[in-house]
Amino acid sequence: MTKYRIAWMPGDGIGVDVMEAARIVLDALELDAEYVPADIGWEFWCREGNPLPQRTIDILQTCTCGLFGAITSKPKDEAALELAPELQGKGLTYSSPIVGLRQLFDLYTNLRPCKAYPGNPLNYRDDIDLVVFRENTEGLYSGVEFHPLPGELRTIMTKYNPRMTRFEDIPGDEISVSLRVITMRGARRIIKKAFEYARQYGYPTVTLVEKPNVLRETSGMMTRVARTVAKNFPQIELWETNIDAQMMWLLKNPDDYGVIVTSNMFGDIVSDLSAQLVGGLGFASSGNIGDDFAVFEPTHGSAPKYAGQYKANPTAMLLAVKLMLNWLGETEMAEALETAIAKVIAEGKVRTYDMGGDSSTLEVAHAIVEKL
Ligand code: NAI
Ligand code: MG
């Protein structure tokens, strides 16, 4: 028996290429793990009408955690057209398997570290080291949406805000509503994780990014909870900023920030901007983490035009492997891997196209292995 069982989900496009790189590195590290292949992605949507088959969920339930490459997804109508002929017209609708995984396994933390490794020509600044904690299961992405506007909802909205009468003459099919749901439990657990991380890795501040002056109830709850949680971490300072101003400050003084915590959509935005500050998609890794299960992935998609060409930068994937190793408690291996990645970046000899080089995905992996 191996110590760990890791669900192996390459998915589509360059997901397959970068997962091959991950395997080269994991084998070199000699992690005591069994890698269990699991089907996910476009191929399974087309063939079976489900991009996240039940057998994959069954495998995940027997695993310590999962590693995921990337998937292709397409708009509703296009997705329906690519279904196998025998599945067409059955009312099957496509939904993102990675969003599905987050919900099914309650992976409420989306952890997105953004560190500028010295020597990366794509760095916006060289001293950036920030980590975004994005709430992954609720907020504006809770999936409670209305169109056309039901009459009873209009009545309730007007009851709670008399100024809603200004929409009185607009017909229901010309109004759409998405609900921003924040629960105290959701707020507390993501903010607590952010503070725990700051304490564990020595970050002096946690910045809560919200908009409580306008979103009084939802951002207001995030703020109240953050202040309560912060009391248990006297050594860490809580900063509170507004999402709009934070976008300016991230560009102006990115090195001021350590751990950033925020709700789902704001986190989506902050983390993409932060990723670009340290080299963009080729460097952005993320962990989807719950209480006892997690799935680690590069943030990028399947980049179909590069599929199977081994051109993609595997760094994002390998940094996701590093996150996984940390989560497993294999901190020495995680550090060794990060050091090796940093050395290859600093040397600048083996670089994929996005960094101005012409090395392949696997050449980068082998260069990192040499430094281990
Ligand atoms: P993408 O992230 O796949 O690629 C956008 C562009 O970024 C690529 O064309 C390439 O120029 C560059 N890029 C991405 N990863 C790179 C890497 N590792 N190294 C070097 N360059 C890299 O996003 P796009 O083109 O919007 O979406 C393609 C497909 O991926 C779509 O079907 C989309 O739905 C899906 N997608 C999946 C995600 C996931 O699996 N988590 C996330 C984002 C998109
Ligand atoms: Mg995003």
Domain match, 158 and 100 both: no
Domain match, 135 and 252 both: yes
Domain match, 239 and 339 both: no
Q: Is the pLDDT of residue 178 over 90?
A: yes
265-281 residue pLDDT tens: 999 999 999 999 999 99
**CA of 11 relative to ligand 1 center, distance in Å:** 12
Domain match, 348 and 336 both: yes
Domain match, 80 and 163 both: no
Q: Under 8 Å CB-to-CB from 28, ≥6 apart: which residues?
A: 369, 372
Mutate to test the pocket of ligand 1, among 300, 309, 315 (most ligand atoms within 8 A of CB): 300
Report the candidate in 134, 130, 123 with the shortest Cα–Cα distance to residue 189. 134
Name the domain count of the chain.
Answer: 3
Number of the ligand 1 atom closest to the C-alpha atom of 68: 40
Owner of token pair 């997690």: 294
Domain match, 53 and 165 both: no
Domain match, 224 and 351 both: no
Average pLDDT of the chain is 96
Instruction: Quote the domain boundaries for residue 9.
Output: 1-110+286-372
- Beta strands per DSSP E along 201-284: 205-210, 237-242, 259-262
The reported pTM is 0.94
Ligand 1 atom 30, closest CA: 301
3-state secondary structure of 153: helix
- State the SS3 of 31-42: CCEEEEECCCCH
Domain match, 53 and 77 both: yes
Nearest-ligand number for the alpha carbon of 82:
1
209-267 residue pLDDT tens: 999 999 999 999 999 999 999 999 999 999 999 999 999 999 999 999 999 999 999 99
Residue 143: per-residue pLDDT: 83
Q: What does the angle CA 310 – CA 311 – CA 313 come to, to the nearest 5 degrees?
A: 105
Q: Between the CA of residue 327 and those of 133, 290, 320, 323, what are the distances in Å?
A: 15, 11, 10, 6
Q: Do 327 and 336 contact (CB within 8 A), yes or no?
A: no
Confidence of residue 76 (pLDDT cuts 50, 70, 90): confident
Residue 47: per-residue pLDDT: 96
Mutate to test the pocket of ligand 1, among 281, 318, 321, 360 (most ligand atoms within 8 A of CB): 281
In residues, how long is the chain?
A: 372
Q: What is the DSSP string of 97-128?
A: HHHHHHHHTT--EEEEEEE--TT-TTBSSTT-
104-155 residue pLDDT tens: 999 999 999 999 999 999 999 999 999 999 999 999 988 889 999 999 999 9
Ligand 1 atom 4, closest CA: 303
Number of the ligand 1 atom closest to the C-alpha atom of 316: 18
Instruction: Mark 12-46 as b/e (b = at least 16 C-beta within 10 Å).
Output: bbbbbbbbbbbbbbbebbebebebbebbbbbebbb
Number of the ligand 1 atom closest to the C-alpha atom of 299: 41
Q: Is the pLDDT of residue 75 over 90?
A: no
The number of CA neighbours under 13 Å toward the Cβ of 205 is 14
Euclidean distance between CA atoms 224 and 231, whole angstroms: 11
- Stated as kind and residue range, the H or E segment containing 304 is none
- What Rg do the C-alpha atoms of the chain give, in angstroms? 22
Retrieve residue 344's tokens: 């290859």
Q: Is the CB of 110 under 6 A from ligand 1?
A: no
Domain match, 86 and 201 both: no
Nearest-ligand number for the alpha carbon of 301:
1
**CA of 372 relative to ligand 1 center, distance in Å:** 28
Provide the angle, in degrees to the nearest 10, between the axes of the packed helices 331-347 and 315-328. 160
In a domain, 260, yes or no: yes
Q: Do 147 and 177 contact (CB within 8 A), yes or no?
A: yes
**CA of 148 relative to ligand 1 center, distance in Å:** 33
Rounded percentage of the chain residues whose pLDDT exceeds 70: 100
Average pLDDT over residues 163-174: 94
Confidence of residue 77 (pLDDT cuts 50, 70, 90): confident
Q: Is the pLDDT of residue 95 over 90?
A: no
Retrieve residue 82's tokens: 């690519």
Domain match, 97 and 11 both: yes
Q: Which of 277, 303, 329 is a domain's end point?
A: 277
Q: Between the CA of residue 318 and those of 19, 37, 95, what are the distances in Å?
A: 9, 18, 27
Residue 195: per-residue pLDDT: 98
Euclidean distance between CA atoms 233 and 1, whole angstroms: 40
Ligand 1 atom 32, closest CA: 72
Phi, psi of 61 (to 5 degrees): -65, -15
Number of the ligand 1 atom closest to the C-alpha atom of 314: 18
CATH code where residue 198 lies: 3.40.50
Ligand 1 atom 1, closest CA: 301
Confidence of residue 286 (pLDDT cuts 50, 70, 90): very high
Helix, strand, coil in percent for the chain, rounding step 5: 50, 20, 35
In a domain, 296, yes or no: yes
